[in-house]
Amino acid sequence: MTKVLVSDPIDQAGIDILSQVAQVDVRTGLPPEELKAIIGDYDALMIRSGTTVTAEIIEAADKLRIIGRAGVGVDNVDVPAATKRGVLVVNSPEGNTIAAAEQALALMLALSRHVPHAHASTMAGGWDRKKYVGNELYKKKLGVVGLGKIGSHVARVAKAMGMDVMAYDPYVSAERAQQMQVRLLPLPALFAEADFVSLHLPRTPDTENLVNAELLKTMKSTARIVNCARGGIIDEAALAEAVENGTIGGAALDVYAKEPLEAGSPLRQVKERLILTPHLGASTEEAQENVAIDVAEQIRDVLLGLPARSAVNIPGLNAEVMEQLKPHLQLAETLGQLLSQLAGGPISELEVRLQGDFAAHPAQPLVVAALKGLLSTALGDSINYVNASLEAKERGIHVLEVKDDASRDFAGGSLQLSCRNSQASHSVTGAVFAEGELRITTIDEFPVNVAPSRHMLFTRHRDMPGIIGQLGSLLGEHNVNIASMQVGRRIVRGDAVMVLSLDDPIPPSLLVSVHAINGIQEAHPVTL
């Protein structure tokens, strides 16, 4: 029975989808040791930010095929460790965009009008209209750091509220910023000019402690900062001090370096002009339904053997590409399997050549598929689209991609894989014919025209009378049925190849006899 573990609170809509294909166990708040102890039973894991998926947990996850993050940030998942184990990581890149953006806007308004403190004071019996005089956002300068999906929505709404919006994002083009009518500024200039700063960038080694004591000192003493992105981007002790000392006008945080926020955090000591919420950015009914459906559908699809649409660790290979290129990927994988069995040993270089109309396809997915095929001979089921590139790199396989749209052998083009190792080099070419039918069209530059089949035998031999008959009789004597046979040669009585599709595998003892036939130079049994 396929089993899915849901280890954080997920909307019921997601559980319902997963239940169509698997037994779903919801166990939230598991301590790491307990998660490690049970993860080996599960085919899929669905999480939010509450579960940390370490390399140790992935190591214990013998059956795990997919980790679904019902949200955006995957910084709580050791993605390289998952990739190494061939575990797909998916997320919901857009399901909570609006929720997180609205949380940032809510905090900006709440900060500028002292909403939480005024509320607490009123509830406590007070009526303090003077203390809580605030500021308007209208005509104030907002600096958005990270102009991605959430940052862009914040910028759009802030502009509608009459704010002057600037942004810092090293990966956003001047054209995009212009389109959004946002000024792009370097980070120090943005911090120096801003009345409000809102952070919307991921936490990475580059962004850790990006907002430190030094940068805070460059802000206006009235400026306020909002972080609904990730903890650890702001130095929390420095921020607490800056708010307390009046270096800046205030701050509102939804995310923390360590969650839940520790009881002894200096942030908890700040009494005024600081608003803290417990990571609520994505916590709207709408966003929770969106992300749960988005991610549960992907887990369901992957468990059914279908591609996922938002895979984090197979860039360029989303569901749309997989669907469009299905037969082409199948061809690349089959040729990879074939090539590795012809080579019969470690390979140091693989050339993937997209010829004719094939060159119009993106190369990367086809390279990944070829590597998966190539490595599956040695690594079996443990190799997949997730870890194929990494495994190839670790085995020192140098990959060359070539696009040659001038070569016009077939309508639709062809794909050629060539490999080299210390002893020899081999090449195979294939094409996708009408109705998605796959054909092997050359082997070691000899022209053939064969549909791949489960069991095959490839020989290199001298083109001379009697060889085909001898081989046919030999296989017949051993009850190996030949489904089809083809010979390819470049010159009469020169070197030739023979391709046999067989109904049964060739036993090793029979292979010895095949090799013994006079004129046969090489014989490679192939299983696809």
In the complex, which residues of this chain contact ligand HPV (CB under 6 A)? 48-50, 70-73, 96, 279, 281-283
- Which residue has the CB atom at the shortest distance from ligand NAI? 148
For 189, other C-beta atoms within 10 Å of its C-beta total 15
- Rounded to whole angstroms, the Cα distance separating 1 from 60 reads 19
Q: Is 323 a catalytic residue?
A: no
Select from 68-76, 156-164, 217-225, 235-243 the region that touches ligand NAI (CB under 6 A).
Answer: 68-76
Q: Write down the least CB distance from residue 189 to ligand NAI, Å.
A: 14
Q: Write down the least CB distance from residue 229 to ligand HPV, Å.
A: 8
Phi and psi of 474, rounded to 5°?
-60, -45
Q: Write down the least CB distance from residue 116 to ligand NAI, Å.
A: 17
Could you tell me the two tokens for 528?
Answer: 């696809």
The option from ligand NAI, ligand HPV, none interacting with 83 (CB < 5 to 8 A, set by class) reads: none
Q: Does 169 bind ligand NAI (CB under 6 A)?
A: yes
Q: Does 168 bind ligand NAI (CB under 6 A)?
A: yes
Nearer to ligand NAI, 43 or 254 (CB): 254
Helices (H) and strands (E) in the chain, counts: 18, 22
The option from ligand NAI, ligand HPV, none interacting with 32 (CB < 5 to 8 A, set by class) reads: none
Sheet with 425-432: list strands edge to edge. Answer: 398-404, 349-355, 414-420, 425-432, 438-443, 446-450
**253-292 mask for ligand NAI (x: CB under 6 A)?**
-xx-----------------------x-xx----------
Handedness of CA 24, 29, 31, 32 (dihedral sign): positive
Q: Is 328 a catalytic residue?
A: no
Query: Which residues fall within 8 angstroms of residue 127, CB to CB, at 6 or more apart?
Result: none
**202-221 mask for ligand NAI (x: CB under 6 A)?**
x---xx--------------
Sole binder of ligand NAI in the list 35, 53, 90, 147 (CB under 6 A) = 147
The footprint of ligand NAI on this chain (CB under 6 A) covers a number of residues equal to: 31
Residue type, 52: T
- Rounded to whole angstroms, the Cα distance separating 87 from 63 reads 9
Q: Is 349 a catalytic residue?
A: no
- Rounded to whole angstroms, the Cα distance separating 289 from 282 reads 10
Q: Is the peptide bond before 116 cis (omega within 30 degrees of 0)?
A: no
- Rounded to whole angstroms, the Cα distance separating 43 from 66 reads 7
Query: Which residues fall within 8 angstroms of residue 407, CB to CB, at 6 or more apart?
Result: 355, 356, 413, 414
**Set 259, 289, 349, 401: catalytic member:** 259
The option from ligand HPV, ligand NAI, none interacting with 430 (CB < 5 to 8 A, set by class) reads: none
Q: Does 8 bind ligand NAI (CB under 6 A)?
A: no
- Rounded to whole angstroms, the Cα distance separating 234 from 227 reads 8
Nearer to ligand NAI, 124 or 174 (CB): 174
Phi and psi of 415, rounded to 5°?
-125, 125
**Set 230, 300, 353, 461: catalytic member:** 230
Could you tell me the two tokens for 335?
Answer: 């040729």
Binding site residues, ligand NAI, CB under 6 A: 71-73, 96-97, 100, 145-151, 168-172, 200-202, 206-207, 228-230, 254-255, 279, 281-282
Give the catalytic positions in this structure. Answer: 230, 259, 279
